[in-house]
Structure 1
Amino acid sequence: MFRMGSLKSYNCEQCGNDFVSRTALRYHLRAKHLGKVHCEKCGREVLRETLQDHEVANHERMTAERQGCFWDMPSKREAKFVAIEMSTSCRMCPRKFGTIHSREHHEKQDHHFTASKRAQMATGFSPDNILDYKNPTELKRFVEEKLRPVPGPASIACATEIEAIINLIKECFPLPIARLIKGGSYIKGTDTQGWSDVDIVLFSEAFENLEDCKKKLPEVIDDLGKRLKKSSWASRIMMEKRNQSSLRFHFKCYKNHHGHSFDIMPCYDMLGPAPSTGFKQSFYHKIYLCNDTDEIQLYSMSLLQYQVEFIKASTMKVKDLIRLVKHWFRTSFAKPTAQNKFRRLPSSYAIELITISIWQLAGKPVFFSLIQGMRAILMLLVRYPEMCIVWHKHYSPNSTIFKKAFQKQTRPFILDPANPTFNVCENSNAWDEVAHVARRSLLKPLFNGVQAKEPWLFTNDW
């Protein structure tokens, strides 16, 4: 319980919602939480008697085939397209709350998540970190030699193999395909040496509507997985555990021995290849009114092409900066432990959008210093509660959906340029850790004595 102004408010410890009386709180507990327990693996609240079935359906263990794989497992793929209230999930336990404030209060009270503990759990600079470089030349050389994909015959061979596996997916797909959309870092041009991800959305007219798609999806995904396992490429495909809406596997390029993470998503085509402005606004309205996370995921698959186009339109220099910031995330944060296994750092899509926004604030320079660009991004991350980034290519600032999303005033706030209902920052519950590591990074040798220069002078106000 806490005091709000002159009125008492009664807080539900299960979900963080507030109520004006104890009676209202008791009614809420009986209606929403009675007989339910938290799944220790995913944090979802499920009926006690269905917990075992939930674990079998959603958390099956790795098969012997995956455990015996011949190349290193990559990091877990992030949640796609939509936020699933990660920002209100505890970092140390599976509890979820109604507000970020309630979640933070719980972390302090129940887990003693102090500033010193946050610093200890967040920071993990790897040996020979790029932040220890002494000059811009070293950083530029690192990007060109270690991060940017190698051009030439190797790149051509890689592209040929990826196109071949996509054709195989089309051949193995058990339904007729009306339209296909490609996404992921490989398609956007933000992939790095040694690893990339590829998203494939397959639209089929065999799905009569959204409900029919949801009903048939598990069988379609299972069928596709079985066919791929029987194909001539099976030895180079490592399946992940089944996902609610997609088939995920890792594919090994034969010649230069690097990997690609594939996410195959069958879907009912709700938007079409060239929707009118009015139809698109109606589509956004349906997403906004939808309360089913799985349905929102299916709706949002139709927007992948616009997300890809937005990132892909960036210059090569901006994509190098994106690669650099992603590398900073991979090499500057402590790995999650059993104690904070529910921590979620910002998605790679959020990183891409932040980088593009900073570049646009600088006036979209064609040539610029990577150190200046990275310094500006880290300074913005330190001030994450003030972050408010929006674009209006696909929706008007006067649209009702945009206004409602903007009025929520959740921070940090980065509105998906293709979806006015999606704040991409909500996929993370660790922005305070990001700010801490960014602050520490700015004290490293790479930024020693570095001052803002044109066109980055706007950072002097930060």
Structure 2
Amino acid sequence: MASPVSPGDVPIPNLTDANCAVKEIVECIQSFQSYSVGEEQVGFSVRDIIKAGSLGHGTSVEGNYDIDLVIYSTEISAYDVLRAESHFQPWLRRIYHFLANNLKGFKFEALKNRSLQFIYHHTSSCVIKVDLLVSPYWESCEDFYNFLKKIPEDKRTIFTVCASRWQREFMSRQPPIVKNFIRQAKKWRDDTWPEGKGCEGRPSSYLISLLVIKAYNIARSQRISFAEGIIRLVHRKMLNVHWGRRGKKKQDMKNRFYTPKQQIKLLPSRPRVIDPANPANNVWVSGIAGYKPGERAGNYDGGDG
């Protein structure tokens, strides 16, 4: 039986300092309290904080492992986010003021509609970019999907961040060989679209990860090489990446949160790479970004997958 070829070894960066930085930031945020001054709400409760992105997924490459943190709160109303012109910014502004006064080493960069971007000076030799995001908290992914069905289709991309906890769970189930392929692909991406120079069409780390995972499974099931699998996948005019076959056929992924049939009302049209954690998120669209020179490549304001 043919199998995907063993990938060349892509070094896993030393993340000791980055993980220590995450620990310090999280400990600070955990002291963030919900309280009011007069009639103004100042804080909000923190239900959970997760390490998302490449660092949380275990697919970081040397020189490109910005920290993505997502704060979940039961005091953030999804409908308030929907009504707010600036989406998550009212809650991000609160956490910004708190961190500016309480996190030593904090240096503000930008406050966007969906993220607070800052630099964290962990040590003199460890300075790390951080994207901090906030999200309402749902007890289950089914509750989240039911919410998405109730809102207009063009508003669903606002809430891509909310699936971060399930995205991380999905990525945690991937074997080391797949994560090594992902690091290879990301290294190619970083060489082709250098960060900081500005360009169009740069694929997000999450889009790369999903394409690699699907190509690896195609290669195994069809007994071809991984290279053949990725070429067959991305050259399809009507790309259709989802995480389970329809009907009663054997499912091709073990760790899924829904079947296409269950969430057919949320599925985007082709070409599509459907987020295994969020059936409304077409990562083929949300995971292709353009950015200006000096901007961060991962811009969540565009609905980054």
TM-score (norm 2): 0.71
Displacement of 1:207? 3.6
Question: Structure 1, residues 330-354: CA drift from partner, whole Å, max 9, x if none?
Answer: 213588989xx5x333222110001
Contact between 2:193 and 2:202, CA under 8 Å: does it hold in 1? no
Q: Distance in 2 between matches of 1:167 and 1:426?
A: 35
Match of 2:248 in 1: none
Displacement of 1:375? 6.0
Match of 2:92 in 1: 221
Q: For residue 149 of structure 1, what is the amino acid of its counterpart?
A: P
Q: Distance in 2 between matches of 1:208 and 1:429?
A: 28
CA 1:172–1:402: 2 relative to 1, 3 Å: same
Q: Does 1:346 align with 2:191?
A: no
Instruction: Tell me the SS of whatever aligns to 1:303.
Output: helix
Match of 2:165 in 1: 305
1:356 to 198, 210, 213: 213
Q: Does 1:377 align with 2:246?
A: no
Contact between 2:120 and 2:128, CA under 8 Å: does it hold in 1? yes
**Unmatched tracts of structure 2, length 5 or more:** 34-42, 245-255, 290-305
Displacement of 1:290? 2.0
Contact between 1:414 and 1:425, CA under 8 Å: does it hold in 2? yes
Q: Distance in 1 between matches of 2:135 and 2:194?
A: 37
Q: Distance in 2 between matches of 1:212 and 1:284?
A: 16
Q: Distance in 1 between matches of 2:52 and 2:92?
A: 19
Q: Does 1:231 align with 2:94?
A: no
Contact between 2:149 and 2:265, CA under 8 Å: does it hold in 1? no
1:149 to 13, 18, 27: 13
Q: Distance in 1 between matches of 2:127 and 2:179?
A: 20
Q: Distance in 1 between matches of 2:288 and 2:52?
A: 25
Q: Distance in 1 between matches of 2:24 and 2:55?
A: 15
TM-score (norm 1): 0.49
Alignment of 1:173-322 (within 5 A): 174-207=43-76, 210-211=79-80, 217-231=88-102, 233-234=104-105, 237-254=106-123, 257-269=125-137, 271-272=138-139, 275=140, 280-281=141-142, 283-291=144-152, 296-298=157-159, 300-322=160-182
Alignment of 1:410-429 (within 5 A): 410-411=270-271, 413-427=272-286
Match of 2:23 in 1: 163
Q: Distance in 2 between matches of 1:168 and 1:200?
A: 13
Match of 1:402 in 2: 264
Displacement of 1:424? 0.8
Displacement of 1:385? 1.6
Structure that is richer in helix per residue: 1
CA 1:295–1:211: 2 relative to 1, 3 Å: farther
CA 1:251–1:396: 2 relative to 1, 3 Å: same
Instruction: Tell me the SS of whatever aligns to 1:195.
Output: coil
Match of 1:10 in 2: none
Q: Larger Cα Rg: Structure 1 or Structure 2?
A: 1
Q: Distance in 1 between matches of 2:192 and 2:226?
A: 18
Q: Distance in 2 between matches of 1:319 and 1:347?
A: 15
Instruction: Tell me the SS of whatever aligns to 1:385.
Output: coil
Question: Structure 1, residues 428-460: CA drift from partner, whole Å, max 9, x if none?
Answer: 669xxxxxxxxxxxxxxxxxxxxxxxxxxxxxx
Instruction: Tell me the SS of whatever aligns to 1:421.
Output: strand
Q: For residue 181 of structure 2, what is the amino acid of its counterpart?
A: L
Displacement of 1:229? 2.4
Q: Distance in 2 between matches of 1:201 and 1:243?
A: 14
Q: Distance in 1 between matches of 2:239 and 2:21?
A: 40
Contact between 1:183 and 1:199, CA under 8 Å: does it hold in 2? yes
Match of 1:108 in 2: none
Contact between 1:287 and 1:296, CA under 8 Å: does it hold in 2? no
Contact between 1:195 and 1:258, CA under 8 Å: does it hold in 2? no
Structure that is richer in strand per residue: 2
CA 1:181–1:404: 2 relative to 1, 3 Å: closer
Q: How many percent of aligned residue pairs carry the same amino acid?
A: 21
CA 1:405–1:265: 2 relative to 1, 3 Å: same
Q: Distance in 2 between matches of 1:284 and 1:251?
A: 34
Instruction: Tell me the SS of whatever aligns to 1:140.
Output: coil
CA 1:314–1:294: 2 relative to 1, 3 Å: same
CA 1:149–1:374: 2 relative to 1, 3 Å: farther
